[in-house]
Amino acid sequence: MKVLTIDSVALKGKRVLVRVDFNVPMTTDLKVADDTRLLESIPTINKILKDGGMAILMSHLGRPKGKPNPEFSLKPVAVRLGQLLKTPVKFSPDCVGSEANQMVQDLQPGECLLLENLRFYEDEEENASSFANELATYGDLYVNDAFGSAHRAHASTEGVTKFIKPCVAGYLMEKEIGFLSKAVANPPRPYVAIVGGAKISGKIDVIQNLLPIVDVLIIGGGMAFTFFAAQDMEIGDSLVEVEKISLARKILDEAKTKKRRLILPYDCVIAKEFENDATRKTVSVSQIPQGWRGLDIGPDSLKIMGMEIKKAKTIVWNGPMGVFEMPNFAHGTFEIAKMLAAATKTGATTIVGGGDSAAAIALAGLEQQVSHVSTGGGASLEFLEGKKLPGVEALDRA
């Protein structure tokens, strides 16, 4: 998918309306707890300021349910962003209205303004035309750099593009589209997809979309037990989605028909309770006793999976291999992260989907050692599922 990017437009003297994703975690005293998303936006903002443009930034934060709420104000974000940019970031106490409009008009080339939380208005999520139109009046052109919100047809991601031209991608959006398109269009082979997480229901579309494309599909995490149940195996008290057993059976049959290798765990770490300090042991997946539940993959599984990862030229990972939030059941997930980092060093393209996978590789301290970590959990998942993202579809084509 080729979209116009920020490099294709003149910025000097222009008011540039930029949709960013500043939906960041905050501390109890309302300071930015994790500035990763701010850092990801810096290249696009710097490009605008250095080229003599004026950056008008807009974002949402949290779920204020369509009403102003100080707990979800973007004001602390403006402070932190200014520190990262090494230049003051002006802040508008509203995202629409006369005060916001005046602040936009008063901006000088090289200056940056952050508007207050878009979701203080129901019109944002409802994609109201009047709201989108008012936002559009602030800019001479529009840049979407918020891939994490691109799967939502909101006023600031889709509606606004009907009232302003040109509409182009920022550097982060361009990078996300580039890596994820490569994963679903024409990936270097062998191509390995690793899909984990608790439930098959949350990943069924991505599994079905990737299965015809990949050479090897590795499945781990809680969802693996639904596949074991589909083979009439004893899984003790492990997580199982009974209503998805027939679907898991269908996927197993499809893998055989399409001659794709589908690898499930060979062994797992089991425990009696869903607690970090619970009694635990490693057993074959065919030997899980009643009263025990699988919470991580075991060493034999890692060995087999590692052999496939080592041979791969393209690797996509979406979903943890176990309950990685508990240190005693994080080993399998962190080992997969290490394997991806090693594969990257030897020339493989490694893409980590957003959400839990991104959190896991960050916890492992390896996010800088893979090709790409997506900033969009739901958006990256929908892209891999083959769905069209409204925020991407609305951008001008190259």
Residues with active-site annotation: 37, 199, 355, 378
Q: Helix or strand or coil: residue 130? A: helix
Q: Helix or strand or coil: residue 92? A: strand
Q: 47, 9 in Cβ contact below 8 A? A: no
Helix ranges restricted to H, the chain: 36-50, 75-85, 98-106, 122-126, 129-136, 171-184, 204-210, 224-230, 245-257, 299-311, 331-345, 356-363, 377-384, 390-393
Largest CA distance in the chain: 70
Q: Which of 381, 322, 361 is nearest to 202 (CA)?
A: 381
> What is the spatial distance between Cα 278 and Cα 301, in angstroms, rounded to a whole number?
22
Q: 152, 391 in Cβ contact below 8 A? A: yes
What are the structure tokens assigned to 338, written together? Answer: 């290490």
What are the structure tokens assigned to 300, written together? Answer: 């034999």
Residue 17: phi and psi, rounded to 5, are -85, 120
Helix ranges restricted to H, 157-279: 171-184, 204-210, 224-230, 245-257
What distances in angstroms separate CA 30 from CA 64, 286, 359, one per listed residue? 15, 49, 21
> What is the spatial distance between Cα 82 and Cα 89, in angstroms, rounded to a whole number?
5
For 181, other C-beta atoms within 10 Å of its C-beta total 14
Q: Helix or strand or coil: residue 332? A: helix
Q: Which of 207, 277, 279 is nearest to 247 (CA)?
A: 207
Residue 71: phi and psi, rounded to 5, are -65, -25
Q: Which of 197, 201, 247 is nearest to 222 (CA)?
A: 197
Q: 115, 139 in Cβ contact below 8 A? A: no
Q: 145, 19 in Cβ contact below 8 A? A: yes
What are the structure tokens assigned to 76, written together? Answer: 């602390």
